[in-house]
Structure 1
Amino acid sequence: MRQPEPAPGGSSAAGPEGEAGEAGEAAPLTREHLLAMARHGGREPLDLSLGVACDAEPDWFAADGEERSDPGYPKSAGSGALRAAAAASLRRRFQVSLPDESVAVCVGTKEFIASAALFLSREQGGGARHSGTHDSGTRDTVLIPSLCYPTYAVGAELAGLRTVRVPMGDDLRMRLDRVPAADARRALCLWVNSPANPTGVVDALDAIARWGRTHGVLVLSDEAYAEQTWKHRAATILSSGVDGVLAVHSLSKRSHAPGLRVGFYAGDPRLVRALADRRRDAGLMAATPAQTAAVRLLTEDHRVTRQRRRTRHRVTSLVELLNAAGLRCAPPEGGMFVWLKAPGGDGDRFVRWAARTAGLVLAPGSWYGPAGRPWVRVAATEEPETVRPRLELLAASPSPVG
């Protein structure tokens, strides 16, 4: 679900240890390891493990002769023009009207996700490290989906907080009714991601906001893939009101500008103001040229429409190609990934086989939580004609499960 996607299992955060599947193999199952295996098999890797499309990124920066920004430090909360552009984008795309003061800028949403729990815990008076008995008045827990973007858990760890994974139903949606009452009382915040990475499901954001308000839990809604909603109307948690909620939006996904490192968060004005102050003191400021470029991208909805069309075509084609190769899967409700059950029920083993056999680099479900071990995530980031021969090669090869 930002910088070229988590490479959960990349050098910044190693994935789980690989089991000794073939020839006593026990190396860590990282993205770099899978890339090396693909090359060792004699093929140039086709990397479908990251959520970064193959398209060229927009020309972000102002051309010669265009107006330059004033000198000096950039505003951590974002320039007036950028906050206004973000608020206007929410009005156009989601019919939500917010004052500019309820919107602030971040240095890419991955950074915001990793630091939010730390800053919120200080603001809410939580964050104490506990050993032994628990003071029921302390909010020391971050609730995250059972299967999710790994940076939610990283953020809790950096803040010194507990992480509790919310149980999911058979439909892969969060079941907040199954959160133990003790964990709800201790929860500082809840992360929701809809459409979800890696599963592609769409959650009922209004119901999640109500649960958060009932339990006094801040709800942080990662809406990176909101523009890539295929089976429902694109939604934001802000439609339910702003009390106790923040929505996080990514230009990396919305405008296909992952290298720009600009995103924004919006919602409860008290939280936005408090976070902007904390983040300024920590020196978290998007560069002025990047902010200027972001204003342009936020006003260019045709780029969003074009990227959405490309992604939808790739997702639809990828589902067809996977099924033709004998890898049964259903179209996602949203997002740019296909979530499929690995043959034999071991995603780690399957992605090793795919790398060796066809030079395909896929993301094992175990990178997204313990419940993901039987699954594999395939990114719809390449054109069908590029992916087809690799999947045909897999289909023609002996199964990894015999």
Structure 2
Amino acid sequence: MNHALNQLQPYPFEKLRSLLGSVQPAPDKTPIALSIGEPKHSSPAFVARTLADNLDQLAVYPTTIGLPALREAITSWCQQRFGLPVGWLDAAHNVLPVNGTREALFAFTQAVVNRTDEALVLSPNPFYQIYEGAALLAGAQPHYLACLAENGFNPDYDAVPAEIWQRCQILFLCSPGNPTGALTPLATLKKLIALADQHDFVIAADECYSELYFDEENPPPGLLSACAALGRSDFKRCVVFHSLSKRSNLPGLRSGFVAGDAQILKAFLLYRTYHGCAMSVPTQLASIAAWNDEEHVRANRDLYRAKYDAVLAILQPVMDVQRPDGSFYLWVKTPGDDIAFTRDLFEQQHVTVVPGSYLSRAVEGHNPGAGRVRMALVAPLAECIEAAERIRDFLKGLPS
């Protein structure tokens, strides 16, 4: 067996199951899960129809590079969403369909990392655990950049030593962040591109929450926006990851894309032809329909706005919680230990959240997720309100 498997830590939800497995929740309360970030809003009906209308295409072997029509739809969406000049993003060379960002982030790391004793993969801390596992199985070491409140829950990139940048092969970004919801500012993205040029590393921007934001007049920037602002038409060292899971409430479709540096994607495509991960033709056709429509995406944001407004009105008077810049999470400060808070809340109120320390790694004795929990506002509005009311009641019962 691959000895690197021994370095993988249990997934946060395994830890959560272990924590809560012997706890008996209040029998008079129905369970409410704010733990898993699985969208619960309805999937677009027109996407389902497109899928159903093309089931005869299941008899066709799909190509790894995907249908030209899908890559064109993705290219058009990127141009409109991130302000790219027409022609910069070439559908034939700068775009590659993938089976969701989780699969792509892992596979991309295997393709990009050049195995050496010095290789580092940098990621935010707390973080999406795929970044860590992908780095270890690619033969690199993860290096964690703490995301603290005093820095707006973004890493302090200025504090990273030059020798760490020099060893870096991939820098993972997540904006809006999981679990913090923090955005990476455009100025920071430009600074990171300059660092990538100086030290020759790849920026892998996980932007799967990019379409969950609050101000319709000011969509958050992404790494492609920074490339456009810099006149960087070759997207050198820059790759973005997008998905229909959160944007369109289609987590089961397993559809997304990677876009950016053509030379990197050429090598990644070669890797994927051996990896055997082509997207089925019916899925590709359904994806085209989803990427070509924005009405359902705006309606989706409206639903999340309503939940944030209602839940924050209940929780802000009783605990330290702020509206994030984006995503569907609340990154909540707990009165005391986050693991005890999670266990006791489940026992007394039958509400499930995730301890922040399960989503982070301790570095030099400090875990930046400790003392916080992640709450995913994915349940229907009424359930989110009831969960917030139960949390408020739980807090009132704590010793002062």
Q: Per-residue deviation at 1:348?
A: 1.0
1:149 maps to which residue? 128
Instruction: Indicate the percent of aligned positions where both proteins have the same amino acid.
Output: 25
Q: Which runs of 5+ in 2 are unaligned?
A: 1-8, 361-366
Contact 1:319–1:338 (CA<8 Å) still a contact in 2?
no
What's the counterpart of residue 210 of structure 2? 226
Instruction: Give the Cα–Cα distance (whole angstroms) in 2 for the partners of residues 141 and 82 of structure 1.
Output: 34
Cα distance change, pair 288–39 in 1 and its aligned pair in 2 (3 A): farther
1:252 has 2:245 as partner: yes
Which structure carries more relative contact order (alpha carbon 8 Å, separation 6+)?
2
- 1:45 is matched with which residue? 31
Provide the residue aligned with 1:392 in structure 2. 389
1:342 corresponding residue in structure 2: 334
Alpha-carbon separation, structure 2, partners of 1:146 and 1:50: 19
Q: 1:362-399 deviations in whole A, cap 9, x for unaligned?
A: 11111221310111111111234223333333333464
Aligned CA-pair RMSD: 2.5
Q: Hey, what does 2:322 align to over in structure 1?
A: 330
Change (3 A) 1:400 1:164: farther
> For residues 250-305 of structure 1, what are the alpha-carbon distances to aligned partners after superposition, in whole Å with 9 as ceiling and x for unaligned?
11011110000011010001111111111111101122221111111111111111
TM-score, normalised to structure 2, is 0.84
**Conservation of the 8 A alpha-carbon contact between 1:252 and 1:259:** yes
After alignment, is 203-212 or 36-45 more displaced?
36-45
SS of equivalent residue, structure 1 residue 29 = helix
Q: How many residues align?
A: 366
The unaligned stretches of length 5 or more in structure 1 are 1-11, 17-27, 135-139
1:42 CA drift (Å):
5.0
Q: 2:297, 2:385 → 1: CA distance?
A: 26
Counterparts of 1:41 and 1:179, CA distance in 2: 50
Q: CA deviation at 1:75?
A: 1.5
Q: Partner of 2:316: helix, strand, or coil?
A: helix
Deviations 1:210-236 (A, max 9, x none): 222222110001111111233653212
1:176 maps to which of 157, 160, 170:
157
Partner of 1:94 in structure 2?
82
Aligned residue type for 2:327: G
Q: Amino acid of the residue matched to residue 391 of structure 2?
A: L
Task: Verify: 1:359 aligned to 2:350, yes or no.
Answer: yes
- The aligned counterpart of 1:188 is 169
CA contact (8 A) 2:183 2:220 kept: no
**Partner Cα distance (1:285, 1:61) in 2:** 22
Contact 2:50/2:289 (<8 A) preserved: no
- Cα separation, partners in 2 of 1:395 and 1:272, compared to 1, 3 Å: same
Structure 1 position 78, deviation (Å): 1.7
Evaluate the alpha carbon distance shift between residue 177 and residue 64 of structure 1 in structure 2; reply closer, same or farther with a 3 A threshold. closer
Between Structure 1 and Structure 2, which shows a larger proportion of helix residues? 2
Q: CA deviation at 1:54?
A: 2.2
Q: CA deviation at 1:69?
A: 4.1
Shift of 1:127: 1.4
2:137 is matched with 158
Any conservation in 2 of the 1:260–1:290 contact (CA below 8 Å)?
A: yes
Pick one of 260, 273, 279 that aligns with 1:286: 279
